A and B are shown apart, each in its own frame.
Chain A
Amino acid sequence: MVQSEVKFISGNEACAEGAFYAQARFYAGYPITPSSEIAQIASERLPTLGGCYVQMEDEIASIAAIIGASCCGVKSFTATSGPGFSLMQENLGVAIMGEVPCVIINVQRSGPSTGLATSPAQADIMQCRWGTHGDHAIIALTPSSVQECYELTIRAFNLSEKYRSPVVILSDKTVAQMREKVILFTPGEVELLERKKPTGSPGEYLSFRPDDDGIPPMASFGDPHLLRITSSTHNEQGFTDDDPSNAFTLIRRLYDKIEDNADDITQIKTYFMEDAETTFITFGITARAALNAVHKLREEGNKVGLINLLTMWPFPACKIKEAVANCRSLLVPEMNLGQLVREVERACCAKEVHSYTKSNGKNIFPGEIIQAWRDSL
């Protein structure tokens, strides 16, 4: 039996390891702190795996290049941080509209603009959801540990292939650069998903005709089946089509194929929820502080619990509602001026929801969460 490898690495290194495990073989990127380690590792490792690393002229080109590579059937990814993620919004839309699988790792840092270069933040929640224009859905995963960086990156590629969709990993500066123990999977230990390929004859294949699950099989450039990808509103053939009913059918399908599968896509981790009267709901590095706060408060006999969101989008509303069914109140600590709390309020409008925010480039500490909890009583 192959022994699992145990390593002591950073979150960024774990993201890269996860990508390689998922068979990602193409990386294009542009240097930016605090994500650059991922590019450096990709430039070292991908050539040894027969893959390709390209350093592009900017982040607009980086995401363009991974979309182009993915259209050839090669699992592709890029990594960036706030200013670069802003530039990527344009072609993130192409990946959504063209239904091209790819993974974008956004290591969040403090903004707006250049901001506190380079201090942690968790303020790209809404940019990630709505940053590219127009109606659309997005998948975004939020790791809170180095192990989760590794596992969620593998999951990101799987979801990306399964749903023919871009997937964003919303990491943060602290998680990305801290070092922890991580247990790497052995080959075959985790199932790796591949995009559906067309099964019919090349003459019958339409690049955007969905199966019953709402997801069209995807040929690769160079296959016998011609592939037509477009950023314009299109019909099943991939031809620009401005008929209103066609436009609505497409926009609805692109949205529904993600949102209707929220149960499959979303994951939350719960702690001490059996008898919790107050639940902390958070994600990323703040979930680590919150867990520490929960432990301390439990030692004093307080009935508090924690939900750590591993998926930000689609928002795991149903799973949260179910988990907090017996709670009296919720407290949402986050490193921004209150983005997640609004979603929690929408999902749990019958509950008493408290917010604790911090937006100064510093992590939230357990003591602050404990104090916020006391203040909410």
Chain B
Amino acid sequence: MALIEHLTQEYLRTKKLPHIWCPGCGNGIVTAALIRAIERTGYDQRDVVIVSGIGCSSRAAGYLNFNTLHTTHGRALAFATGLKMARPELKLFVIMGDGDCSAIGGNHFIHAARRNIDLNAVIINNHIYGMTGGQHSPLTPTGMKATTAPRGTLERPFDLLVLARGAGATFAARGIAAQPRQLEQLIVRGATHKGFSVVEALSPCPIAYGRRNKLGGAVEMLRSMKDSSISVERAAETEDAELKDKTITGVIYSFDAPEYAEEYYRSISDNKG
């Protein structure tokens, strides 16, 4: 209890509560996991910058007691790139939503991955545009309904982590709001990884997504999220056919490659010498 009290007082702007999120929204769970993860990294509060775009998820920045840069829809990674290159010693967490990151921000996402710049992207994926009223996003599964897909979307979704890998990301993990402790650990792993890290956090949106698709309330959505997930370790021992409808959680890939800001400043000092 003491830890919760400490984290709340230190890292949340409690005067700004209650938050704007709907009942049953998973954004609070993900935000709490992020706070605990930052605490575990031991970073100085002054060195942390939370960068966010626009959407439900991006409102998290407003409640967090760190440096914050709340930007435009889809552009958070572009702002964060300039910030990181100007002051590489800062620790950046970039909170985005699924539409924010993969639709309007898709170009910035692949280029941040390509540069392997040391940004920690935390993407809250609720499969829907929540704030604008439940339109389908590039991560809405095929066939699911949305206010702009009344008969179910015909589009195929990205696998965000495969996309990131193809673009050059060196770390990717997936967690679910139903397992917040694992999510916290994954964000810590992403933060300590040198290079571009992607943590996809699946999160329920009972109001704008669950209701329309008859997925039940928050409890049912969290339960089915948990039931359909499988850890990457267990998945490795499971037949492919059984994994068809499963969400694989954990660290999906992690390897070393030159980090852009570090390479840039090294090249400068080499040239000076």
Q: Do A and B come together as binding partners?
A: yes
**Chain A residue, CB-CB nearest to B16:** A239
Residues of A within 8 A of B69 (CB): 68, 71, 221, 229-230
* CA of A204 to CA of B118, assembled, Å: 31
> B78 near A76 (CB under 8 angstroms)?
no
Residues of A within 8 A of B264 (CB): 52
- Annotate B97-108 by CB proximity to A: 1 below 8 A, 0 otherwise: 000000000011
Q: Which of A54-62, A273-281, A296-304, A314-322 contacts B (4 or more CB under 8 A)?
A: A54-62
Residues of B within 8 A of A60 (CB): 75, 78
Interface class of chain B by DSSP: helix
Residues of B within 8 A of A222 (CB): 46-47, 67, 87, 89-90
Q: Is there a chain B Cβ closer than 8 Å to A364's Cβ?
A: no
> A221 near B62 (CB under 8 angstroms)?
no
What range describes how many residues of A lie at the interface? 35 or more
* CA of A317 to CA of B49, assembled, Å: 42
Q: From residue A227, how far is it (CB to closest CB) to chain B in Å?
A: 5
CB < 8 Å neighbour of A76 from B82, B84, B107: B82
> B86 near A76 (CB under 8 angstroms)?
yes
Q: Is there a chain B Cβ closer than 8 Å to A367's Cβ?
A: no
Q: Is there a chain A Cβ closer than 8 Å to B13's Cβ?
A: yes
> A57 near B68 (CB under 8 angstroms)?
no
CB < 8 Å neighbour of A65 from B16, B45, B79, B271: B79
Could you tell me which residues of chain B, from 240 to 272, have a CB within 8 Å of some CB in chain A? 264, 267-268, 271-272
Q: Is there a chain B Cβ closer than 8 Å to A340's Cβ?
A: no
Could you tell me which residues of chain B, from 51 to 71, have a CB within 8 Å of some CB in chain A? 51, 54, 59, 61-62, 65-71
> B68 near A65 (CB under 8 angstroms)?
no
Find the residue from A56, A67, A72, A76 having the highest chain B CB count within 10 A. A72
Find the residue from B13, B67, B86 having the highest chain A CB count within 10 A. B86
- Annotate A208-229 by CB proximity to B: 1 below 8 A, 0 otherwise: 0000000000000111101111
CB < 8 Å neighbour of B83 from A71, A224, A226, A238: A71
Q: Is there a chain B Cβ closer than 8 Å to A353's Cβ?
A: no
Residues of B within 8 A of A94 (CB): 71-72
CB < 8 Å neighbour of A64 from B16, B61, B79, B268: B79
**Chain B residue, CB-CB nearest to A63:** B78
* CA of A93 to CA of B81, assembled, Å: 19
> A69 near B111 (CB under 8 angstroms)?
no
* CA of A329 to CA of B80, assembled, Å: 52
Taking A47-B268, A223-B46, A230-B62 as contacts, is the C-beta distance between A69 and B82 under 8 angstroms?
yes
Residues of A within 8 A of B108 (CB): 57, 61, 64
Residues of A within 8 A of B75 (CB): 60-61, 64, 90-91
Interface class of chain A by DSSP: mixed
**Chain B residue, CB-CB nearest to A46:** B268
> A47 near B72 (CB under 8 angstroms)?
no
> A54 near B78 (CB under 8 angstroms)?
no
> B67 near A228 (CB under 8 angstroms)?
yes
> B46 near A224 (CB under 8 angstroms)?
yes
> A232 near B70 (CB under 8 angstroms)?
yes
* CA of A66 to CA of B68, assembled, Å: 16
Q: Is there a chain B Cβ closer than 8 Å to A240's Cβ?
A: yes
> B107 near A67 (CB under 8 angstroms)?
no
Q: From residue A243, how far is it (CB to closest CB) to chain B in Å?
A: 14
Q: From residue B265, how far is it (CB to closest CB) to chain A in Å?
A: 8
CB < 8 Å neighbour of B82 from A48, A54, A93: A54
Residues of B within 8 A of A70 (CB): 86
* CA of A91 to CA of B75, assembled, Å: 9
Q: Is there a chain B Cβ closer than 8 Å to A332's Cβ?
A: no
**Chain B residue, CB-CB nearest to A223:** B46
> A67 near B86 (CB under 8 angstroms)?
no
Q: Is there a chain A Cβ closer than 8 Å to B235's Cβ?
A: no
Q: From residue A175, how far is it (CB to closest CB) to chain B in Å?
A: 28
Q: Is there a chain B Cβ closer than 8 Å to A246's Cβ?
A: no
Residues of B within 8 A of A163 (CB): none
> A58 near B67 (CB under 8 angstroms)?
no
Q: Is there a chain B Cβ closer than 8 Å to A112's Cβ?
A: no
> B70 near A67 (CB under 8 angstroms)?
no
Residues of B within 8 A of A71 (CB): 69, 83
Residues of B within 8 A of A226 (CB): 45-46, 65-67
For the complex with contacts A64-B71, A226-B45, A240-B62, 18 further pairs of A-B residues with Cβ separation under 8 Å are: A26-B86, A54-B81, A56-B78, A57-B111, A58-B107, A64-B81, A64-B108, A65-B83, A68-B78, A68-B80, A70-B86, A94-B71, A221-B49, A223-B46, A224-B46, A227-B68, A228-B67, A231-B72
Q: Which positions in A face B, CB cutoff 8 Å? A: 26, 28, 47-48, 50, 52, 54, 56-58, 60-61, 64-72, 74, 76, 90-91, 93-94, 221-224, 226-232, 238-240
7 contacts between A and B (CB under 8 A): A61-B108, A67-B82, A221-B69, A222-B47, A223-B46, A226-B65, A238-B68
Q: Which positions in B face A, CB cutoff 8 Å? A: 13, 16, 45-47, 49, 51, 54, 59, 61-62, 65-72, 75, 78-87, 89-90, 107-108, 111, 264, 267-268, 271-272
